[in-house]
Amino acid sequence: MIRRREPVPFAFVAEADRFRSNVTPPPPERASVGQLAGRWLLGVTVVAGLVGSLVIGMPALSADQPSPHKQPSQASEGR
């Protein structure tokens, strides 16, 4: 294998932990009341959708109870 004599082009990445900057990033912006309400409403909507799908889907998942109203199909009536 051929060894390269020039330094690696991204050698500065290895030295990044030694570099300290005196420039601090700006503080994050605080969310407005509308943004907080929107996030809360979105969360409630997602949770309500999951609970609603569970409530609607539970009867379909319980196959141990026979249906009380057994209707014969039209094909079995001989029409």
The tens digit of pLDDT for each residue in 17-28 reads: 556 677 888 899
What tokens were used for 38? 């929107």
The reported pTM is 0.47
Highest mean pLDDT pick, 13-17, 18-22, 25-29, 64-68: 25-29
What tokens were used for 12? 């500065």
What tokens were used for 32? 């407005």
